[in-house]
């Protein structure tokens, strides 16, 4: 049995007619770092709060450490949680905030002190020990919240968008800090975020949700390279994957503007049962720009052309925006391949990186068995 | 930062308020000054500036006060009242606080309708229900007991409403965090909710104290035994006694005023904050 098992877990809020979380199934192994991602309102927090016991589970079963917890009070579930708004005790000092749970566990005072010292030390809060939360910055408050979670030695950490109130730079450094803590403590962690970069960089596995339904569960690169549907493909990765409306006929792909490319035999084989109008997806870095004026030497057949409408210079790489086949697209190129707005570029799609999605269901035909 | 014009307006305001406060202070100063004088001096000083100047400290300076303290039970009445106020402050905070917390944070059927009822109770003057209170207390055989005096004063719709308004803006996630820190709901209320809402606790305490201290009607109905009487009743019986001198009257009024002045000067800031704030800037 896995450490945590969701079995068809559902949540219907009172007064609502639909499940906010619908048939959630997931196994989480011990010491895993799992990220829930998805757009706002997709049910991430609801799911996490059902794990914590703050929301009633209205259908299905949830097991933590082999024990069914549907009706177990939050305090008895063996969890520690980090809240989006920190939820510190405003009238207590940093030290008291961190030690409060231990005090209620009736731990002897000298042991509490040892643990609090340890947490304060690894979180670098020594200077702020006797301050109250209102005299701390956002990052410091979030570290206190982390401290409060880690001293209790719980086996499961739940975090609901813990970094969303911090500025970009602090977010990056706290990201590293949380990852480091996870490696050192080895507690199973479920981390809710709407930021796919956070999920990609921190998680062992990512759960992508939409409208209360799990879309895909997998390792970050699995989701990136093999999205099961158009939603996952579009959600993971920045800039977003490019999508074009195409007409597939055998090994021929026709774009809305009349340009054509020819599919490799392997790709055409996978698309055998699926012909006609569909959506082609390709990531920006899988668009190979051949040059502003040069005609391609090799593979002349599949060379396409477009005019650059916008550029984004990032420093380490550049994004070239162009309009093609009736859709806006972006190519990611190295910093040496600068092009100007108005330049005409030639490019090819890396054949093995093409995705084809059903127009209605969004299913990725390339990932179907 | 004020502009020049604003600063001038401020000065004018200060001047007006100063004049006004002198008007209000005159009677108080007069009372204080004359409470140290024998009646003959009070009469002879009348209509002169000396009426506002206390006599030089010396023989007989505290005579009025000493006779009040030694010849009457007034100190005991003050002690009684302080005791009732202390008990009622604690009970008010616990009972009205818990009610306000329930109305703010706990989901139960018809909660909002309950709140409306409580708000409507705010407009019912206490005098209209006092007969009913009296009848109930009398039927229960609690006349002339401390319990009978205190019981009807505990629940106060205004205090419930004040607590509710402040508690409603307390963040829910703090309660959730506390649960995971093994803090139960009762402990949460006393060790988290109340300390996080110090301002409203102070406000309710002050109001309760003043209500108890200044109330005349209710204690005069409930208490007949002179052991249990309150300061206001004591004051009334002393001042309406024919043998009480003018100086003694002023001394006893001064004594009754002192706690009120102390409380106001200590808590005036909290009272204003408590009534005007929503409690959201507690941090
Ligand atoms: N107490 C509630 N009663 C009724 N509906 C609720 C309640 N809490 C949340 N919802 C609804 O459930 C849905 C999922 O909410 P949830 O907070 O889980 O989203 P989320 O994925 O965490 O979004 P976000 O990224 O914005 O935090 C939303 O449509 C929300 O309006
Ligand atoms: Mg959320």
Q: What pLDDT, on the 0 to 100 scale, is given for residue B125?
A: 87
Residue of B nearest to A90 (CA): B283
The residues, ordered by sequence, that sit 6+ positions from A206 with a Cβ below 8 Å of its Cβ are A34, A35, A37, A199, A200, A217, A218, A219, A220, A223, A236
Query: Domains of chain A, with CATH numbers?
Result: 4-232 (3.40.50.300), 239-367 (2.40.50.140)
Q: What is the mean pLDDT of residues B65-87?
A: 94
Contacts of B198 in chain A (CB under 8 A): 91
Neighbours of B90 (CB within 10 A): 13
Q: What is the mean pLDDT of residues B113-120?
A: 94
Residue with tokens 């705010």: B122
pLDDT bin (cut points 50, 70, 90) of residue B272 is confident
Cα dist from B240 to A85, A236, B65, B227, B253, whole Å: 62, 87, 17, 19, 13
Cβ–Cβ gap A89/B177 under 8 Å: yes
**Cβ–Cβ contact A148 with B under 8 A:** yes
- Find out whether the beta carbon of A19 lies less than 6 Å from any atom of ligand 1: no
Q: Which two tokens stand for residue B244?
A: 């009480």
User: Facing residues of A206 across strands?
Assistant: A35, A218
Q: What pLDDT, on the 0 to 100 scale, is given for residue B280?
A: 40
Q: What pLDDT, on the 0 to 100 scale, is given for residue A47?
A: 96
The residues, ordered by sequence, that sit 6+ positions from B148 with a Cβ below 8 Å of its Cβ are B137, B140, B142, B222
DSSP A295: P
User: Facing residues of A310 across strands?
Assistant: A321
Residues in chain A: 369
Q: What pLDDT, on the 0 to 100 scale, is given for residue B48?
A: 86
Rounded Cα–Cα distance for residues B70 and B187 (Å): 46
DSSP A117: H
Q: How far is B114 from chain A (nearest CA, A)?
A: 21
> Tens digit of pLDDT for each residue in B21-47?
988 888 899 999 999 999 888 888 888
Q: What pLDDT, on the 0 to 100 scale, is given for residue B222?
A: 95
Q: Does residue B277 surpass a pLDDT of 70?
A: no
Rounded Cα–Cα distance for residues A146 and A162 (Å): 9
If one compares B45 and A103, the residue with the highest pLDDT of the two is: A103
Q: What is the mean pLDDT of residues A152-164?
A: 93
Stated pTM of the model: 0.84
Q: Does residue B224 surpass a pLDDT of 90?
A: no
β-sheet with A59-64: strand ranges across: A21-28, A4-11, A59-64, A67-68
Out of A38-47, A336-345, B111-120, least confident range:
A336-345
pLDDT bin (cut points 50, 70, 90) of residue A110 is very high
Q: Does residue B276 surpass a pLDDT of 50?
A: yes
Most ligand 1 atoms within 8 A of CB, residue of A35, A44, A163 to mutate = A44
**Cβ–Cβ contact A10 with B under 8 A:** no
Residues in chain B: 283
Residue whose CA lies nearest to ligand 1 atom number 6 = A13
Instruction: Write the residue in A79, A90, A152 that is nearest to B196 by C-beta.
Output: A90
Q: Does residue B275 surpass a pLDDT of 90?
A: no
Ligand in nearest proximity to the CA of A14: 1
- Find out whether the beta carbon of A18 lies less than 6 Å from any atom of ligand 1: no
B223 touches B150 (CB < 8 A): no
If one compares B102 and A339, the residue with the highest pLDDT of the two is: B102
Q: What pLDDT, on the 0 to 100 scale, is given for residue A299?
A: 54
- Find out whether the beta carbon of A212 lies less than 6 Å from any atom of ligand 1: no
- Find out whether the beta carbon of A210 lies less than 6 Å from any atom of ligand 1: no
Q: Does residue B274 surpass a pLDDT of 70?
A: no
Tell me how far the alpha carbon of residue A210 lies from the centroid of ligand 1, in angstroms.
Answer: 12
Residue whose CA lies nearest to ligand 1 atom number 8 = A46
Contacts of A136 in chain B (CB under 8 A): none
C-alpha dihedral (A284, A289, A292, A294), degrees to nearest 10: -170
Q: Which of A298-302, B72-76, B84-88, B128-132 has the highest mean pLDDT?
A: B84-88
- Sign of the CA dihedral with B40 first, then B43, B49, and B52 last: positive
Domain boundaries, chain B: 4-67, 72-276
> Tens digit of pLDDT for each residue in B136-191?
999 999 999 999 999 999 999 999 999 999 999 999 999 999 999 999 999 999 99
Q: Which two tokens stand for residue B233?
A: 């009743």
Q: What CATH number belongs to B72-276? A: 1.10.3720.10
Q: What pLDDT, on the 0 to 100 scale, is given for residue B281?
A: 40
Rounded Cα–Cα distance for residues B171 and B115 (Å): 20
Cis peptide before A239 (omega within 30 of 0): yes
pLDDT bin (cut points 50, 70, 90) of residue A295 is low
Q: What pLDDT, on the 0 to 100 scale, is given for residue B282?
A: 39
Contacts of A133 in chain B (CB under 8 A): 283
Q: How far is A73 from chain B (nearest CA, A)?
A: 9
> In the predicted model, what is the mean pLDDT of chain B?
90
> In the predicted model, what is the mean pLDDT of chain A?
92
pLDDT bin (cut points 50, 70, 90) of residue A340 is confident
Q: What pLDDT, on the 0 to 100 scale, is given for residue A298?
A: 52
Cα dist from A343 to A181, A227, A238, A284, B253, whole Å: 48, 33, 24, 18, 94
Contacts of B195 in chain A (CB under 8 A): 91
> Tens digit of pLDDT for each residue in A114-156?
999 999 998 999 999 999 999 999 889 999 999 999 999 999 9
Q: Which of A99-103, A265-269, A304-308, B239-243 has the highest mean pLDDT?
A: A99-103
> Tens digit of pLDDT for each residue in A204-234?
999 999 999 999 999 999 999 999 999 999 9
């Amino acid at each position: 049995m896995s450490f945590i098992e969701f079995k068809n877990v559902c949540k219907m809020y009172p007064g609502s007619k639909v499940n906010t979380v619908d048939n959630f199934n997931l196994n989480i192994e011990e010491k895993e770092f799992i990220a829930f991602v998805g757009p706002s309102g997709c049910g991430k927090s609801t799911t996490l709060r059902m794990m914590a016991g703050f929301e009633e589970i209205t259908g299905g079963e949830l097991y933590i450490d082999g024990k069914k917890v549907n009706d177990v009070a939050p305090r008895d579930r063996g969890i520690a949680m980090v809240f989006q708004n920190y939820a510190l005790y405003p009238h207590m000092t940093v030290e008291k905030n961190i030690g409060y749970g231990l005090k209620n566990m009736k731990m002897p005072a000298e042991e509490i002190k040892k643990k609090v010292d340890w947490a304060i030390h690894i979180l670098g809060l020594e200077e702020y020990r006797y301050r109250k939360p209102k005299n701390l910055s956002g990052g410091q408050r979030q570290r206190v919240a982390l401290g409060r979670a880690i001293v209790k030695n719980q086996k499961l950490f739940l975090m609901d968008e813990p970094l969303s109130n911090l500025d970009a730079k602090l977010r990056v450094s706290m990201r590293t800090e949380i990852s480091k803590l996870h490696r050192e403590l080895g507690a199973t962690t479920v981390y809710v975020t709407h930021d796919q970069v956070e999920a990609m960089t921190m998680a062992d596995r990512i759960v992508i949700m939409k409208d209360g339904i799990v879309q895909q569960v997998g390792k970050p690169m699995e989701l990136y390279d093999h999205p099961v549907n158009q939603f996952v493909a579009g959600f993971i990765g920045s800039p977003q994957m490019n999508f074009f409306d195409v007409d597939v006929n055998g090994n021929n792909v026709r774009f809305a503007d009349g340009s054509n490319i020819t599919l490799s035999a392997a790709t055409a084989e996978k698309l055998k049962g699926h012909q006609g109008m569909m959506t082609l997806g390709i990531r920006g870095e899988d668009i190979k720009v051949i040059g502003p004026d040069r005609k391609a030497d090799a593979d002349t057949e599949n060379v396409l052309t477009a005019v650059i409408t916008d550029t984004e210079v990032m420093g380490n790489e550049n994004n070239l925006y162009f309009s093609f086949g009736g859709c806006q697209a972006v190519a990611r190129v190295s910093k040496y391949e600068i092009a100007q707005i108005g330049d005409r570029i030639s490019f090819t799609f890396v054949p093995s990186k093409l995705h084809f999605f059903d127009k209605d269901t969004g299913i990725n035909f390339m990932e179907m068995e | 930062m004020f502009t020049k014009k604003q600063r001038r307006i401020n000065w004018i305001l200060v001047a007006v308020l100063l004049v006004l406060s002198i008007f209000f202070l005159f009677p108080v100063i007069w009372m204080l000054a004359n409470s140290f004088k024998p009646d003959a001096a009070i009469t002879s000083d009348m209509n002169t500036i000396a009426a506002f100047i206390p006599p030089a400290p010396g023989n007989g300076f505290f005579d009025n006060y000493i006779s009040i303290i030694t010849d009457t039970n007034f100190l005991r009445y003050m002690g009684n009242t302080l005791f009732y106020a202390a008990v009622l402050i604690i009970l008010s905070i616990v009972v009205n606080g818990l009610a306000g917390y329930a109305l703010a944070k706990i989901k139960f059927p018809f909660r909002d309708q309950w709140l409306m009822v409580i708000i409507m109770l705010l407009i019912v003057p206490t005098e209209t229900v006092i007969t009913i209170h009296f009848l109930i207390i009398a039927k229960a055989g609690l006349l002339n007991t401390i319990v009978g005096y205190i019981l009807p004063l505990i629940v106060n719709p205004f205090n419930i409403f004040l607590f509710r308004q402040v508690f409603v803006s307390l963040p829910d996630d703090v309660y959730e965090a506390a649960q995971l820190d093994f803090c139960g709901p009762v402990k949460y209320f006393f060790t988290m909710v109340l300390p996080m809402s110090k301002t409203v606790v102070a406000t309710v305490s002050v109001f309760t104290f003043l209500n108890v201290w200044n109330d005349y009607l209710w204690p005069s109905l409930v208490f007949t035994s002179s052991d249990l009487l309150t300061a206001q009743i004591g004051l009334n019986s002393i001042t309406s006694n024919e043998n009480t001198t003018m100086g003694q009257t002023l001394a006893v009024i001064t004594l009754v005023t002192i706690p009120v002045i102390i409380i106001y000067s200590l808590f005036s800031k909290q009272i204003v904050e408590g009534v005007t704030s929503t409690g959201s800037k507690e941090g």
